[in-house]
Chains A and B, each alone.
Chain A
Amino acid sequence: MGITVSLENMEKIYERPKTLKKAVMHYCPGCGHGVAHRLVMEIVEELGIQENIIGVAPVGCSVFAYYYMDIDMQEAAHGRACAVATGIKRMMPDHYVFTYQGDGDLAAIGTNETIHACNRGENITIVFINNAIYGMTGGQMAPTTLLGQPATTCPMGREQVANGYPIRMSELVAQLPGTIYVERVAVNTPARVRKAKKALTKAFKSQELKKGTSFVEILSNCPSNWKMTPVDSNKWLDENMLPYYPLGLYKDEISGE
């Protein structure tokens, strides 16, 4: 049994955001999707835009995002979240609109929609969760899978000759004139979670300027399909993903510079 501490004279400094529904998420223990969901919902709560925001859920592990986020949401066909969000934003320009997509949705089947939505400069926020593998379907190789990383469709590790190089989406969309804010963050340590929240807040607020697309890439772990414990998977992310996907701000034109 653990110890019990009296809460007398204590003040609450952190609790689960009320915009996150009480349901238990279906994600595997230790999955970064839960942290990303919580951050988005904390921002919705802090900005007070629960009635004024529409999310677009993808296909992939986060396909049931609308079961957990207590806001208006729309499910899109696989990879088409940016296109659906474009339609919603054009019909309801006074609403905040965001897409929440994984790497199979955004960087594989939906690369076309993503690049063109960014290039058109739609006033939407794209939240991109990169865990370097296809999670829901059972750990197949994704476009973001690192060279040498094993997956069920490349058990000896990804090879450049047969499978090409991992795609760096943040660098790709940062070149497009339609984007105004592009940042890559991670959610594997407390400090990085704080930074991720700041980046997401900036991205959501940038919609008020109506100047272009904001894109936040969140590096996340996948303990089940990397076949590691959650703690080990966060270490693996540090050692292997960060050298290829460097964290940082790729583009910030919010201040008009």
Chain B
Amino acid sequence: MAKVKGAVVINTENCKGCGLCIHACPTDTLGFSKDINSKGFNYSEMVMDECIACMSCALVCPDAVITVYRMRKDKAV
């Protein structure tokens, strides 16, 4: 079975750096950034290309800053 590939786009400016998405991610795709946003939070970002589009991060995100994408089935390699 082909592995599902996905990606997340995070609105880093609105992220409060609570880390719930990082804890929820089953594949360690997400991590804290070294930079900070204008509010002074170390926001969450993709640190590895391991996303399986499970949406766990988006479900637990209290600020709804995560958008999840999944590779189209016909385009999967």
* Chain B CB within 10 A, most for which of A1, A10, A187: A10
A residues less than 8 Å from B20 (CB atoms):
30, 230-231, 234
Which of chain A's residues 119-161 have a Cβ closer than 8 Å to chain B? Answer: none
Q: Which of A10-44 contact B (CB under 8 A)?
A: 10-17, 20, 24-25, 27-35, 38
A190 touches B24 (CB 8 A): yes
Residues of B within 8 A of A31 (CB): 62
Determine whether the beta carbon of A30 is less than 8 Å from that of B55. no
Using known A-B contacts A5-B7, A229-B19, A230-B18, determine if residue A32 contacts B59 with beta carbons closer than 8 Å: no
Q: Which residues of A are found within 8 Å of B51, using beta-carbon distances?
A: 5
- In the complex, the answer to whether A38 meets B19 with C-beta atoms within 8 Å is no
Query: B56 to A9, Cβ gap below 8 A?
Result: no
On whether the beta carbons of B55 and A10 are closer than 8 Å, the reply is no
Structural contact, B69 and A11, CB atoms closer than 8 A: yes
How far is the CB of B52 from the nearest CB of chain A, in Å? 12
Would A231 and B19 count as touching, CB distance under 8 A? yes
A3 CB-CB contact with B under 8 Å:
yes
A32 to B20, CA, bound (A): 11
- The answer to whether A84 has its CB under 8 Å from any CB of chain B is no
Whether, in the assembled complex, A189 has its beta carbon less than 8 Å from a beta carbon of chain B, the answer is yes
Of B14, B60, B63, which one neighbours A190 at CB under 8 angstroms? B60
Closest B residue to A23 using CB positions: B14
Nearest CB of A to B36, in Å: 13
Tell me if B62 and A16 are in contact (CB < 8 A): no
Query: Which residues in window 157-206 of A have CB below 8 A to B?
Result: 187-190, 193-194
Which B residues lie within 8 Å of A2 (CB)? 31, 33, 45-47
Partner of B6 from the list A3, A10, A15, A30 (CB cut-off 8 Å) is A10
Taking a contact as CB atoms under 8 Å apart, the answer to whether A13 and B63 are in contact is: no
Q: Using known A-B contacts A9-B75, A11-B70, determine if residue A24 contacts B63 with beta carbons closer than 8 Å.
A: yes
Say yes or no: is A209 at the interface (Cβ < 8 Å to chain B): no
For the complex, give the distance between the alpha carbons of A4 and B46 in Å. Answer: 8
Residue from B16, B19, B56, B60 whose CB has the most chain A CB atoms within 10 Å: B60
Q: Does A7 touch B at the CB level, under 8 Å?
A: yes
CA distance A214 to B63 in the complex (A): 26
Nearest CB of B to A159, in Å: 32
Cross-chain contact B69 with A10 (CB below 8 angstroms)? yes
Write out the residue numbers on chain A whose beta carbons fall within 8 Å of the beta carbon of B17: 29
Say whether A189 contacts B24, CB under 8 Å.
yes
11 residue pairs bridging A and B, Cβ less than 8 Å apart: A3-B47, A7-B69, A10-B71, A12-B67, A13-B70, A29-B16, A34-B62, A38-B64, A189-B60, A234-B20, A234-B23
The 7 closest A-B pairs by CB, nearest first: A34-B62, A2-B45, A30-B18, A29-B16, A29-B18, A10-B69, A9-B75
Known: A33-B62, A190-B60. 17 other contacts (CB 8 A): A2-B47, A3-B49, A4-B46, A7-B9, A10-B7, A11-B69, A13-B6, A16-B65, A29-B17, A29-B62, A30-B16, A30-B20, A190-B55, A223-B18, A230-B20, A231-B20, A234-B23
